[in-house]
Each structure stands twice: as structure tokens, then as C-alpha cells.
Structure 1
């Protein structure tokens, strides 16, 4: 399950990778075509309707908006191609077809059940004797996808189709059919079986989704009532899950599905925290962004922009004097990366590797940042990370009246001081071997790869495979190191692999050896190919 979640999280990164450019386009386009902003600063001559810049900026906003509006389809294609072991292109195409088929079947079944656009409005349910709240919840179950009347399953529908199509691709990409149907064998069979599967899913969803939707809404309401306490645990556990890369499998559910809340924006029901923020961003009538939409990500601004750079400074000040010059350049680069872009891995995995207690404190402080900013009703959005670039676009440019961003700046200095003194004190008190401390000559920042390779000797792995001269081909899939050897008898026994080399399992067939290492498999492949 752990390995499957890692793979799923990795596949989520494919569709999520498009969000930064979409967010920048929408952020810049919406900000500089806002009539109130233009009138306030007297920029009608430059940015008003009919000007060239207005055409360009409004087009940018439209591009960003359509990408966010198409996220369910983007997730379906991205996850299918990301999880497919073979024929990724066919998987992506099949997922797109399957997504459309699923929603068309849902619409057809809803019609058979008597649910139409006219019979799924709040007014209609009120006429049937429901209370205002019951009618609103019931009507929120139904909506449109790609112009088709369907249920509001949103990104979750894309995730389901993406996973199902990937499984079918991995199973049937080399399927052989009888001679008379041989044209449809292999990769051509994938879209066929995908359409059938999507049709079945589409036929089932109308019967179960209303109950699931209401259940998710109830849970989201309950989680919302936990207030800052619940958000603290959310931020804390997301940072801990980052160690294993599992956060990528969790936070999209809060960002893009009803698990992250629902809100009506510009007359449309929007699901998911980030979707809510960008829907409000695109709506010129928005006077104040909702903290309920941004609470699942904005807490990261304090540790990423202020906390971790201060931790880097603490590591620099505690480094051995003769190594400070070398350490300074490395830590400054990592701190600047965190501040500008919110990419924190170079710093985080450095102290995770040598001092896990520092990472635990970092996770606690990040959880507190989430809780405090939410309690202060700060509402600054993000695209993917939380550096000064996103802060400028979705905080400063939008204005304090809409975002309450000033609290991030006010709390930034205390956050930096806390990180600095906590890290410095613990490093000195427990003599933690952060960069530039200790007898080792090498001074470096550690990466996720270093953390995963801890206590692993690549030469021992090669020796267990029979030595360099025994290696014919070395490859890897998501979880397995796949090796073709010249003499299978030279490969170490299973007990050696599991006890000494930390393998989770070994599979052998002829001269082929597959060693299960989870996410480490790809790293081992690369390291072996470097030295073999």
C-alpha cells in the first residue's frame, strides 16, 4: 500500500505541474483587468477596455481559467499516463475518452432516473417539501462537466478514471486476441476495454454518488468546525508525509475535491480549496477571498519564506569556522530557493538526514503556522508552492483588503527568530552534524536520494548481483530493480537480499532478476549504471 501511494502521489505531480503557469496567467490577468484596481490608480489609458494590454491580460486570464476548469480531465489523462508502465500515450488517450464516456453515461442514467437540470434545482427540491438546507445540499450533487449534465464528482472522477485506465493498460497492453480480431490486439485493445470500464463506472455512479457526496460534505463540515486545531494537524501531518512523498497523494484531495469544502462563486458551486480561491480570483466581484478556501496551503508561507532560510542561517553560524566559506554558498543557495520558490527539499533533507528531531520540530512549527494564519483569516492563494513569487501574485498584488496578507509579513520575523534560535540551540547542545560540522571533509546539502540511500552500499548491491561482469542490463520500474544477468547462479540468495540489503522481495526467472525496493529502485538503477 505504501508503494502504491507513492506511485499515485508521483502521478499526481504530472497534472499539478501545469498549475503554476495557469495560476500565474490567471493571477496576473485577473489582477490587472480588475476595473476597481484600474479606476483606483487611474490606469484606464493603459489597462482599460479596448487597450492592447487589456486584450493580452484578459486572454491570459481566460487561459488560466480554462485550465483550472478542465482539471478533472487533466487529472484523468495525467494519472493514467503517469501510472502506466507501458504505452503511456495510449493510456492518456484512453483516459480522455473514458472520462467523456463516463460523464455521458452518467447523464443518460440520470435521465432514466428522472433527474434533469429542471428537477435538480434547489427550488424544485424545496417544492418537494425539503428544508432550505436539505434542498441546497441535494441540488449541489448535480451539475455539468464539459457541457454534459452529470454529477459534481469533479477531480475525483478524473482520479478514478485515471487509475482504472492505468490498471487496464498495464494488464492488457500486450493482450492477444483471436486471429479474426488481431487488429484490435495489444495497445489497440486498451481504449476498447477502457470505454467498457468507463461505461460501467458511469452507470454505477448515479446510484452511489449522492450518498458519497453528502458524506464527504458532512465530513468537510465537521473538519471545518475543528477550526485552527484541525488545520494544525493537517499542516503537521502533511509535512511529516513529505518525508515519504506521500503528501502528494493526500493534499490534492483537499485542494481539488469537495473534501476541501464547497462554496458558491459567481453563481456556480466550486469544490476544493484551491479551486475556490482561483474561482474567486477570476470573479471581478470578489471583495474578500475566503480563508476556508486557502486554509489547506497558505500556512506554508511562514516556514518557506522565513523559517527555513533562518534555519539555514543557524546551520551556517554553527558550522566549523574553517568550513563556513564553503558551507555559506551552499546554504545561501538553498535558503534563496526556499524563499523565492518554496522548494525546500535541499534544506529539509539535510537536517532530516543528520538530525530527525529538527525535522519533527519543523513539522510542529509548520502546523502552528497553518493554525495561526487560519485563525487570523489570512487568505493568500498559491499555485504549487509558497515562495515570494506566489506571495507577490496572490497576496501583495491582490491587496490586503482582499487577502489580509499583512499578517504573513508581521509574523515572518518572529517565525525566523524561532527557527533560528531553536535550530542553533539544538545543533550546539546535541552536537548535531549539520553541514560543516564534524570531521568529514565533504560539505554538501543532502537530497531525498541521500536520505533513501542511507546505509546502502552500491558496491554490495552490485556484488549481490554477481559483480559488474555479470550485469547484462540494469533497469527499473516504479518499485522494482530489474536486472538481466549473464549467470543467474552468481546472484545472492533471497536471505542476503532481505537481511543485508533491505530488499522487500526478490523474483527470478531465467537470467532475469527483479528486486523489490519501492521508490529506491530508480535511484539504485541510476547508481549502478554510473559505475558498472
Structure 2
């Protein structure tokens, strides 16, 4: 299960990788074409309708909006190509075709069942005796995808197609056909079998999805009723899952599917927390962003911008005097990364392995941050991280009236103080061997140090059990993610942390994650070149 979730999380990152640039375009374009903002600052001459900048910025907003409007298709293609071990291009193309076929078949089956846009409207269900709430829930089951009448399965439909097509690609990419049909052998068989599978899925979904949709809606309502408590546990467990890199397989379900809530924006129903935020961002009539939509990510701003940089400063303060210069460079770089981009692993992995209790405290404080900002109705959006860049675009530039961003700044200093004194006190009390404290076994390696070593890639391959032991080699921002045939052949932790200078190693099933920071992507590419 660990191996499968690791691969699924890695595949999720492929479509998610396009969201930062799409979010930036939508954020900048929407902010600087907002009529109220233009009038308030007297910029009609520069940014008003008809000006050159207006055309450029409105086009940027349209580009970002179209990406978020087609996430189901993007997820189908991205996940299929990400999970396919061979013929990734064929998997992506097959997924695109299969996604369209699935929704076409769904539409046909719905018409056979007598479900049309007219017979699935709120007014129709009210005329059949339902109250307004029940009618709205029932009508929300149905909608459009790529212009086709279908059910509102959204990104989940893309995920299903992506996983199924990847499975079929891995199984049939080398399929041999009889000589008369040999043209359809191998990779050419993949789109054929994928379309057939998508047709079957499309034929079944209209009978199953209405019940699943209503069930998810009920669960989302229940989760919503838990209020700050539910949001606390979400933030807490997401941070714990980050240790194993498994959060990538969970949070997209809240960001992009109905698990993250549903809301009508500009006349259309939008599912998923991040989708809701960006739909509101693109709607010029939005007066205030919904904290219900942003509750699954806004809470991260406090620990990422203020908490962890303060924790880094605490670790610097308690380091031995002789090591402070070296420690300072390492921790400053990690703190700046967290503050600017919201990427926290460079800091977290400096104390996770030597003082896991500190990580538990960090997860607890992050859960509290999620709950508090939700209670204060703060609604600042995010692309993929929660650093000052996203805060500026989706908080400051949108205005406090829309986002209530001021609370992040107000609570930032108390958050930093709490992290600083909690970390400093616990490190000293329990003598945790954080970077630069006494024990020479605690080593410091910056990216520069590791690259300067000119690491022998063959040593890394040998530590993974040799070429014949490798099934799949990939990487995220900080981790080398490898699937092996026999995990017992993988070198022990001492070897990885010693001559191979890894910051940590995780093993589960046939999945291995080696923490290398920024070097992970380089190692992945080097291994795949020679394996």
C-alpha cells in the first residue's frame, strides 16, 4: 500500500505542477483587471478597458482560468502518464481519448434513462415534490463536461480514467496480436483496450454515481459541521503524512473533488476547495472569498512563513559556538525557502530524524493554525505552497475585504515566538542533537557540499540493490522515490547517511524514499540515464 500510494502521490504531482503558473496568471490577471481596484488607485488610464495592459492581463487571467476549468482532463492525462512504467506518451493520449469517451457514454446512458438538462433541474425536482434543499442536491449530481451533458464526477473521473489507463498500459504495452492483426500489437493496443474500458466505466457510472455523489455530499456536510475541530485534524494529519510523502495522495481529493465542498460560483457548481477559490478569483462579482473553500490550505501560511523560520533560528541559537557559522548558512537557506515558497522539507528534515518529538509538536501547531485561521474566516488562496509569493498574490493584492489576510500578519509574530521558544526549550531540556550540537554524528550537508563531493552514481545504484533490483526511479522536490524488487537488498541507514550523505531513508513494502534535498532530481536523472 505504501508503494502504491507513493506512486500515486508522485503521479498527482504531474498535473498539479501546472497549477502554480496557471494560478499566478489568474491571480495577477484578475487582480490588475479588477474594476474596483483600478478605480480605487486611479489607474484607469493604465489598466482600464481598452488599454494594452488590460488586454495582456485579461488574457493571462483567461489562460489561468481555462487550466482550472479543465482539471479533470488534465488529471486523467497526467496520472496515466505518471503511473505508466512504459510508453508514457501512449498512456497520456489514451487517457485523453478515454476521458472524452467516458463522458460521451455517460451522456448517452443518461438520455436512455430519461435524464436530460430539463429533467435534472432544480425546478423540475421541486415540481416532483422535493423541497428546495433536496432538489438542489439532486440537481447537483448532473452537469456538463467538455460541453457534454454528464454527471458531476469532476476530477475524480479524471483520476479514475488515469489509473485505469495506466494499469492497462503497464499490462498490454507489449501485447502480441495474431499475425492478421499484428498492426494493433504492442503500444497500438493500449488506446483500443482503454476506450473499451472507458466505455464500460461510462455505462456503469450513471447508475452508481448519483448515490456516491450524495454520499460524498453528506460526508462533506458532516465534515463541515465539525468546524475548527475537523480542520485541525486535517492540518495535523496532512503534516504527519508529509513524513512519508503520502500527503500528495490525499490533499488533491480535498482541493479538487467534492470532498472539499461544493459551491455555486458565477452560475456554475464548482467542486473542491482550490477550484472554488480560483473560480471566485476569476469572477469579478466576488465580494469575499469563501473560507469554507480555503480551509484546506490557508492554515499553512502561519507555520510556513513564520513558524518554521523561527524554529530554524532556535536551532541556530542552541548550536555550539564553533558550529554556528556553518549551521547559520544551512538554516538560513532553509528558512528563506520556507518563507518565500512554502517548501518546508529542508527545515523539517534537519530535525525530523534527530528529534522526531519536535516534528510531532510542529504537526500539532500546524493543526492549530488551520483551525484558528478558519475560525477567523481567513480565505487566502494558494497555488501549491504557502510562502510570501502566494500570500502577496492571493492575499495582499486581493485586499483584506475579500480575504481577511490581516489575521495572518497579526498572528505571524505570536506564531514565530511560540515556535522559537518551544523548539529552544525542548532542544535544551532533552538535549536533542539538532544541527551543530555536540555529537559529531550529527552532520551538516548543504546542497553545495553534496554537489562538491561529485557523488558516484554507481554507489547509489549499488545501495539500491543494483540495476536489476530497480523497478521505477523518480523524485519529488526533496526525495528520491524508488520502487525495488527486493527491499532487503537496499543498503542500511548507516550507509545512506554516511558515505552517501542522505538526510534520511524510509522503507515500506517495495517502496524506498531517500531524502536528498535539491539533489534528488539530479540523482533520479543520472540513475535513469545509466540503468
Superposition TM-score, scaled by structure 1 size? 0.88
The answer as to whether partners of 2:238 and 2:247 remain within 8 angstroms in 1 is yes
Question: CA–CA distance in 2 between the matches of 1:320 and 1:369?
Answer: 31
Q: 5+ residue gaps in structure 2?
A: 451-457, 474-481, 495-507
Matched residue SS, 1:353: coil
Matched residue SS, 2:353: helix
Partner of 2:101: 101
Matched residue SS, 1:118: coil
Per-residue deviation at 1:499?
Answer: 12
Alignment of 1:467-482 (within 5 A): 475-477=470-472, 480-481=483-484
C-alpha deviations, 1:329-351, integer Å up to 9, x for none? 11101000000000011001111
Q: Is structure 2 residue 411 aligned with structure 1 residue 418?
A: no
The answer as to whether partners of 2:487 and 2:510 remain within 8 angstroms in 1 is no
Question: CA–CA distance in 2 between the matches of 1:531 and 1:194?
Answer: 32
Q: 5+ residue gaps in structure 1?
A: 451-457, 466-470, 483-493, 503-514
Per-residue deviation at 1:430?
Answer: 1.1
Question: CA–CA distance in 2 between the matches of 1:530 and 1:95?
Answer: 27
How many residues were matched structurally?
A: 495
Per-residue deviation at 1:517?
Answer: 3.6
Partner of 2:267: 267
Partner of 1:43: 43
The answer as to whether partners of 1:350 and 1:446 remain within 8 angstroms in 2 is no
Question: CA–CA distance in 1 between the matches of 2:247 and 2:13?
Answer: 11
Question: CA–CA distance in 2 between the matches of 1:528 and 1:27?
Answer: 38
The answer as to whether partners of 2:463 and 2:490 remain within 8 angstroms in 1 is no
C-alpha deviations, 1:162-186, integer Å up to 9, x for none? 0000000000000001000000000
Change (3 A) 1:501 1:337: closer
Question: CA–CA distance in 1 between the matches of 2:467 and 2:415?
Answer: 53
Question: CA–CA distance in 2 between the matches of 1:406 and 1:501?
Answer: 45
Question: CA–CA distance in 2 between the matches of 1:185 and 1:81?
Answer: 20
Question: CA–CA distance in 2 between the matches of 1:35 and 1:318?
Answer: 51
The answer as to whether partners of 1:109 and 1:206 remain within 8 angstroms in 2 is yes
Partner of 1:244: 244
The answer as to whether partners of 2:464 and 2:491 remain within 8 angstroms in 1 is no
Change (3 A) 1:334 1:11: same
Q: Is structure 2 residue 511 aligned with structure 1 residue 518?
A: yes
Change (3 A) 1:309 1:85: same
Question: CA–CA distance in 2 between the matches of 1:122 and 1:480?
Answer: 49
Partner of 2:148: 148
Alignment of 1:171-210 (within 5 A): 171-210=171-210
The answer as to whether partners of 1:73 and 1:96 remain within 8 angstroms in 2 is yes
User: Which structure would you say has the larger Rg?
Assistant: 1
Question: CA–CA distance in 2 between the matches of 1:461 and 1:34?
Answer: 54
The answer as to whether partners of 1:95 and 1:165 remain within 8 angstroms in 2 is yes
Question: CA–CA distance in 1 between the matches of 2:4 and 2:514?
Answer: 14
The answer as to whether partners of 1:351 and 1:359 remain within 8 angstroms in 2 is yes
Q: Is structure 2 residue 292 aligned with structure 1 residue 289?
A: no
Question: CA–CA distance in 1 between the matches of 2:101 and 2:305?
Answer: 44
Partner of 1:511: none
C-alpha deviations, 1:462-512, integer Å up to 9, x for none? 5996xxxxx776744155436xxxxxxxxxxx997599899xxxxxxxxxx
Question: CA–CA distance in 1 between the matches of 2:436 and 2:27?
Answer: 41
Partner of 2:232: 232
The answer as to whether partners of 2:31 and 2:398 remain within 8 angstroms in 1 is yes
C-alpha deviations, 1:340-367, integer Å up to 9, x for none? 0000110011111111000000000000
Change (3 A) 1:474 1:499: closer
The answer as to whether partners of 2:464 and 2:490 remain within 8 angstroms in 1 is no
Matched residue SS, 1:117: coil
Alignment of 1:296-375 (within 5 A): 296-375=296-375
The answer as to whether partners of 1:306 and 1:412 remain within 8 angstroms in 2 is yes
C-alpha deviations, 1:175-233, integer Å up to 9, x for none? 00100000000000000000000000000000010000000000000000000000000
Alignment of 1:376-395 (within 5 A): 376-395=376-395
C-alpha deviations, 1:311-336, integer Å up to 9, x for none? 00001001110110111111101000
Partner of 2:502: none
